[in-house]
Structure 1
Amino acid sequence: MAFTHQYLLLIFSICILYIYSTQAQLLCNENSNTATTEIANNINTVLTRLVQATSTSGYSVAAFGSGQARVFGLAQCRGDVPPEECSTCIQNIVKEINTTCPNRTDARLWYDRCYIRYNTKNFFGQVDVGYGTYFSNPETVADPETFNEALTALMNQNNDLASRPENKGLGKGQTRLSDSMTIYAASQCIRDLAPSSCRVCLEIAVGDFPTYCANKKGCRVYYNSCYVQYEFYPV
């Protein structure tokens, strides 16, 4: 019976980990205007262009239409994602945002490996931390002091890397706490940000760790302009 209990607990933990690690972050702005037929057509045009361009370059922006019906869009894959995987991710994310955010003039969606956003307002190059989403592992670390010291150093290193244009907005790294424990972390900026703006966004996101993920074994903070995460498994 004890074996059965432990086995079921393991299965339950794996299921929680899977849900946690594959969670998509979606925002359909219900306060935005309902899309007119013209705007809806412009959204479709922008999304089509983003799929075509991002699949090969890993990042693209597009705008289409005129006046109040003009639509701005941005899509990108994480800086280390190969083209074939990027193409699949972008195609899937466009399908989902079309299904889950119909008739909205403002929507954005994060996957683990890619991101898409569109709006009738020009958001290009602007730091946007007005809406955040937070996920944390329910388990806590055994030695918070050692953990937080190592995590702070790692995130500072990653943020420096992410703010360098040649790294495509991505900073990744790892640090060992012991022979059996390693922290893996990543920082990602949207690539239309200037290096200084990227750093600002990432510092705000990391600054949320003590509030939403204090001493947790994993955390993800998503904003519209950047995200940060750390885990005890490769990211």
Structure 2
Amino acid sequence: MVVHLISPIARTVALIFISLPSLINTSLLDYDTLVFSKCDSSDTNILQKTTTTQYPNYSNHNLFLRAQALYSFLSKLESESSRAKFFKTLAGNDQHAVSGWFQCREDYPSEICHRCVTELRSISSRMCGNATSARVHLRGCHMVYEFEFVDTPTAQAYNHHNYKLMETPERGLIHKICDGATAETLAGFEEMRTEALTAAETGVVDGHGFYEESYKLLHVVAQCDGHVEACDCGECVSAAAAAAAEECPWSIAGQIYLEGCYVGYTYNPHEYPGDSYHEEGGQASTGKSLAIVVGGVAALVFVAIFFLFLKSLRRKGDDC
């Protein structure tokens, strides 16, 4: 009797354990939180190069072409995000085209990358719908695009082969986040951060554009845009490290976004080598959360079996 009661529970438990990795990935990885966005609508002249004689209803036609180009671009990005962590393209029509790319955190699963880019598409459309260029960063991915005017076959070929936005630009500071907590009382903090970020400079080159490690009491994450060459990537992370020291001198955590790369560090007195996703509240906490979930499921199963066993004993007593 008890065996028959346990069998359905065993099947249920098996299904729960099979789905645990997916539940952990989608619920605990903080991939869709908006970090920052920049929408530029100042270059409106890019849409003012078509003669009114060619299109009498000029304004509405331009808006339609622009929306069509952006829709095509965003659709391409969303489609490719299920297969790649970085993708650049140019999409559009005879009058307007959009060039740009998306990039996901290299250590996030492909499923999370796709979900993140899907969220990027929604957020960018909502926040930067009328912008001629935009940059939107979420925790797990980011996207950059710019409208380009295409009025001749020559211009189209030029734009398609050169990808203005894909060239490595000057490493200007785009955005910074400095934790308000101070590390002035922490002995050797500056030296530790310098050493940790110096290791990241070498690490991104060896790691093909991505680095994540714990160094003493610091956890560091660095990533370069997919079109940035290895040596340029190391130099960009070096510049980001210098910017972190200048912009966030005593912050126990900081994030520096430059043209071409990103660096983030977090001070954690309980840090252990090998932790990852810590900066986003991820794998280190994911491992603990997984243990809690597994323990909780095991406890519930035990209680359920116990009560079913008692119930079976009562029924047996009734039969007597």
User: What TM-score do you get using the length of structure 1 for normalisation?
Assistant: 0.80
Residue number among 125, 130, 143 corresponding to 1:116 in the alignment:
143
CA distance in 1, matches of 2:225, 2:232: 10
Q: Which of the pair is proportionally richer in helix? A: 2
Residue number among 176, 185, 210 corresponding to 1:170 in the alignment:
210
CA distance in 2, matches of 1:64, 1:97: 16
One-letter amino acid of the counterpart of residue 48, structure 1? S
Residue number among 209, 225, 231 corresponding to 2:260 in the alignment:
225
CA distance in 1, matches of 2:126, 2:75: 15
The answer to whether residue 43 in structure 2 is matched with residue 32 in structure 1 is yes
Contact 1:108 1:224 in 2 (8 A): no
CA distance in 1, matches of 2:34, 2:76: 26
CA distance in 1, matches of 2:141, 2:208: 13
Cross-structure match for 2:70: 43
Deviation at residue 63 of structure 1 after TM alignment = 0.7
Q: Secondary structure at the match of 2:165?
A: coil
The answer to whether residue 237 in structure 2 is matched with residue 202 in structure 1 is yes
Contact 1:220 1:228 in 2 (8 A): yes
The number of aligned residues is 208
Deviation at residue 86 of structure 1 after TM alignment = 0.8
Percent of residue pairs identical: 20
* Residue-by-residue CA offset, 1:150-205 (whole Å, 9 max, x unaligned): 111111111222234xx3521111122xxxxx211111110111112222322222
The answer to whether residue 182 in structure 2 is matched with residue 140 in structure 1 is yes
Q: Which one has a bigger Cα radius of gyration?
A: 2
Q: Secondary structure at the match of 2:81?
A: helix
User: What TM-score do you get using the length of structure 2 for normalisation?
Assistant: 0.60
* Residue-by-residue CA offset, 1:67-119 (whole Å, 9 max, x unaligned): 76221120110110101111111100110001000121200111111011111
- RMSD value over aligned CA atoms? 2.2
Cross-structure match for 1:55: 82
Cross-structure match for 1:154: 196
CA distance in 2, matches of 1:138, 1:108: 25
The answer to whether residue 169 in structure 2 is matched with residue 127 in structure 1 is yes
Unmatched tracts of structure 2, length 5 or more: 1-31, 48-61, 149-163, 269-277, 280-320
Greater CA drift, 66-75 or 115-124: 66-75
Unmatched tracts of structure 1, length 5 or more: 1-20, 177-181
